Structures are given as structure tokens and as C-alpha cells.
């Protein structure tokens, strides 16, 4: 579980831009999220982290996740009041929660969709973030010819 040289540079630069240190724990958590591209909760990340870094604490998980979000390396995803989930996909995209399985899917969206949305805001509203969350079910595809 470790970062490619390319991501290591991205990681260090993002943190140093905010004068934060690229610590072992921060890198460990970042690499875990990057390498398994789902949308884990803090607690899932805690469990996965301890497999290879048994001494890490839950408080550190929360601290590091906050740091990674603030540095722009990962995104938070919230559905209703469920635990916050974390997402390494930095391209513009929406999220779809399947209410049958609980799985969250990335839905890629062209930048134009976000631009259109912004056009509907009053001129003095200045959005910093736009979250688009779908909620529904996924129909099984019929595979019989």
C-alpha cells in the first residue's frame, strides 16, 4: 500500500501549500483511499489502516481525513445523516447511492452541467462547492439474450 511517485509529489505539494507536513499517517490514509476506489467511512478507513499500521488511532483518522479534504486531495460525500464518506475522484462528478445495496457510484458529469447550474443562481451568489446526489435503485440488466 503506497503511493506512486507521481501521487507522492501531488501529495507533498498539496500539503506543503498549506504548510502541513506529509506525515506517515496522512500518506498511509491517502494511499488507502486512492488504491481502493470506493467511498469508505472513517471507521472503514480505520479498520483498513490498522491492518498495516496497527498503532494508528481513530482520532488520527479523523484528523488526517480533515487535513486531506482541506488540502483538496480527497472529497467528502454525505447522504442524509449517514456517516461521512470519502472520495479520491477529483474530476467533476455526482454521486448515486443505491438504496438496495448502500453502494455509492461516481457519475461523471461534463463541466458544462455545473456551469448551467451556476447560471441559475442569483448574480451575487458565489458557490464554492456544488454537490449533486442521486438516490435510487439500480435495475438488474437482463443477460438472457
Give the interface with DNA as residue ranges (CB under 7 A): 20-21, 23-26, 41-43, 55-60, 62-64, 66-67, 81, 83-84
Rg, the chain, Cα only: 17
Query: Least distance from C-beta 90 to Mn ion, angstroms?
Result: 8
Is there binding between residue 87 and Zn ion (CB under 5 A)?
yes
Asked whether the beta carbons of 58 and 44 are under 8 A apart, the reply is no
Asked whether the beta carbons of 45 and 64 are under 8 A apart, the reply is no
Is there binding between residue 133 and its own copies (CB under 8 A)?
yes
Asked whether the beta carbons of 45 and 26 are under 8 A apart, the reply is no
Which residue ranges make up the site for Mn ion (CB under 5 A)? Answer: 75, 87, 89
Is there binding between residue 124 and its own copies (CB under 8 A)?
yes
Q: Which of 91, 94, 84 is nearest to 131 (CA)?
A: 94
Residues 56-115 that bind its own copies (CB under 8 A): 76, 78-81, 84, 94, 96, 99, 105, 107-110, 113
Query: Least distance from C-beta 33 to DNA, angstroms?
Result: 14
For Zn ion, which residue of 89, 113, 114, 132 counts as binding (CB under 5 A)? 89
Q: Would you state the cell numbers that stand for residue 45, as one nine-digit string?
A: 478507513
With contacts defined by CB under 8 A, how many residues of the chain interact with its own copies?
37
Residues 94-123 that bind Zn ion (CB under 5 A): 106
Q: Would you state the cell numbers that stand for residue 16, as one nine-digit string?
A: 506543503
Helix axes 24-35, 5-17, angle to 10 degrees: 130
Amino acid at each position: 500500500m503506497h503511493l506512486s511517485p507521481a501521487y507522492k509529489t501531488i501529495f507533498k505539494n498539496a500539503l506543503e501549500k498549506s504548510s502541513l507536513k506529509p506525515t506517515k499517517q496522512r500518506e498511509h490514509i491517502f494511499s488507502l483511499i486512492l488504491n481502493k476506489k470506493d467511498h469508505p467511512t472513517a471507521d472503514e478507513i480505520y479498520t483498513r489502516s490498522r491492518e498495516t499500521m496497527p498503532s494508528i488511532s481513530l482520532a488520527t483518522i479523523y484528523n488526517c481525513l480533515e487535513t486531506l479534504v482541506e488540502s483538496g486531495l480527497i472529497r467528502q460525500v454525505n447522504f442524509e445523516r449517514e456517516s461521512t464518506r470519502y472520495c479520491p475522484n477529483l474530476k467533476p462528478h455526482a454521486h448515486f447511492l443505491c438504496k438496495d445495496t448502500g453502494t455509492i457510484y461516481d457519475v461523471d458529469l461534463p463541466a458544462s452541467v455545473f456551469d448551467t447550474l451556476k447560471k441559475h443562481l442569483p448574480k451575487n451568489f458565489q458557490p464554492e462547492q456544488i454537490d449533486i446526489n442521486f438516490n435510487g435503485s439500480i435495475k438488474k440488466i437482463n443477460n438472457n439474450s
